Amino acid sequence: MRKSYGVHAAELHRIHAGTNTVNYRVVDDTGRSWFAKLYKGNLDSEREAIELTAYAGRAVPVPAVRRTLDGELIAVPLPMSLWEFVEGETAEGGITGARWPAVGTALGRLHRHLSEHPAAKPALRPAAELRDVVRARRNFDELIARFQARAELSPFEAWACEAARERRALLERAGAILAGLPALTTQVLHGDLASPNLMLRGDDVAAVIDFQPPRPGFVAWEIARIGCDPRTVILGDQWIDGLAVLLDAYRAEHPAARPDDLLSAVAAGCAHTLGSTFPLAEPAPIPASLELYARARHQAALTMLDRLPEARDRLSVGG
């Protein structure tokens, strides 16, 4: 790190988060903290993600990346990047209270800014493209078959097998939900805006982190990804009213947003999640935190499905 960045690491603390990187909190010899990411994937894609982070930083708070002494975004031969360390907590405890409008404001600003990104212009696409139901059915069938072929399952695997069967049986409804939606907007997005990637300080958004490379995706899905995050939905019924507050704040910052995208968020989130095998299909043993997330995500998908008509009506009133 000293050779690449001129930073002497006095302390190194592993942060057990992320799937494609190994992360550390680094304390240098001046007492300053840094966030270090060691990469395991495609470095060209990782550079694109870092560049998108910097682009998004013109609209929302993001951590600043430190370039190497040679001016590079990623150090070699040990591939890593070094970032400003953001003090705060992730939104994994759920979004409540005054955090709803704060998140809506940040998300509206982010999407408005990313709609101008040169990688892709906003376009309307059929909502059915959000989740390939035929492929999802095949994925669930393969997953269930793998579980059934084992002589013995762990308690989590037994639960995951039953959850997979339940979701497999609901795929026709997921397809019908998407078929009933209007064409929805795709544009460059954050790409992975779940609660672990939203840093909060009190009720304020401290930073948006861990962007993906600039690729077009459905606006409605990204709104649902954070507004209907499983950790928030399982807290109780407040998530529907909270989402309405988020959408009001979003519209205030992004007046050009299409109402269809906002009002389709819950339906998009529900159908997409019902058709996903993650993390049910992750190889054992999985971390306890991921097991908790699997259970929360399954419960949230069923809750959204059950409350979909009510959510549609209440969000329409709010719109």
Domain containing residue 127: CATH number: 3.90.1200.10
Cα distance between residue 140 and residue 138, in whole Å: 5
- Residue 138 CA, distance from chain mean position: 24
Give the residue among 185, 190, 204, 195 at the shortest CA–CA distance from 228: 195
Inform me whether the pLDDT recorded for 316 exceeds 90: no
Residues 99 and 80 in one domain: no
Give the residue among 70, 53, 92, 65 at the shortest CA–CA distance from 235: 92
pLDDT tens digits for range 66-86: 999 999 999 999 999 999 999
List strands edge to edge, sheet with 123-125: 123-125, 184-188, 216-218
Residues 198 and 253 in one domain: yes
Burial of 62 per CB tally in 10 Å (0-12, 13-18, 19+):
buried
Burial of 120 per CB tally in 10 Å (0-12, 13-18, 19+):
middle
Average pLDDT value for residue range 227-248: 96
Between strands 89-90 and 9-15, the pairing is unpaired
DSSP 8-state assignment for residue 195: G
* Token pair listed for 237: 């019924």
Inform me whether the pLDDT recorded for 62 exceeds 50: yes
Cα distance between residue 257 and residue 319, in whole Å: 12
pLDDT classification of 4: cutoffs 50, 70, 90: very high
- Domain containing residue 178: 90-318
Residues 45 and 7 in one domain: yes
- Compute the chain's Rg from CA coordinates: 20
Neighbouring residues of 297: CB distance < 8 A, sequence distance ≥ 6? 230, 273, 276, 278, 279
Inform me whether the pLDDT recorded for 318 exceeds 90: no
Residues 98 and 147 in one domain: yes
Domain containing residue 31: CATH number: 3.30.200.20
Q: Which of 85, 119, 146 is the last residue of a domain?
A: 85
pLDDT classification of 160: cutoffs 50, 70, 90: very high
How much is the pTM?
0.95
pLDDT of residue 47: 97
Give the residue among 292, 113, 68 at the shortest CA–CA distance from 195: 292
pLDDT tens digits for range 21-59: 999 999 999 999 999 999 998 999 999 999 999 999 999
Domains identified in the chain, total number: 2
Cα distance between residue 253 and residue 275, in whole Å: 31
pLDDT of residue 319: 44
Residues 193 and 314 in one domain: yes
pLDDT tens digits for range 263-297: 999 999 999 999 999 999 999 899 899 999 999 99
Residues 222 and 296 in one domain: yes
Average pLDDT value for residue range 185-208: 97
Give the residue among 86, 76, 82 at the shortest CA–CA distance from 24: 82
Burial of 169 per CB tally in 10 Å (0-12, 13-18, 19+):
exposed
pLDDT tens digits for range 132-154: 999 999 999 999 999 999 999 99
Residues 255 and 286 in one domain: yes
Query: Are the CB atoms for 91 and 200 separated by under 8 Å?
Result: yes
Residues 110 and 212 in one domain: yes
Kindly compute the dihedral angle of the four CA atoms of residues 230, 234, 236, 242, in this order, to the nearest 10 degrees.
-10
Inform me whether the pLDDT recorded for 129 exceeds 80: yes
Residues 229 and 261 in one domain: yes
Share the mean pLDDT of the chain.
96
Q: Which of 85, 116, 141 is the last residue of a domain?
A: 85
Residues 176 and 56 in one domain: no
pLDDT tens digits for range 11-28: 999 998 767 799 999 999
Average pLDDT value for residue range 89-93: 95
pLDDT classification of 317: cutoffs 50, 70, 90: low
Q: Which of 60, 85, 110 is the last residue of a domain?
A: 85
Percent of the chain with pLDDT over 70: 98
Residues 21 and 130 in one domain: no
Cα distance between residue 215 and residue 35, in whole Å: 25
Residues 138 and 115 in one domain: yes
pLDDT of residue 20: 79
Inform me whether the pLDDT recorded for 88 exceeds 80: yes
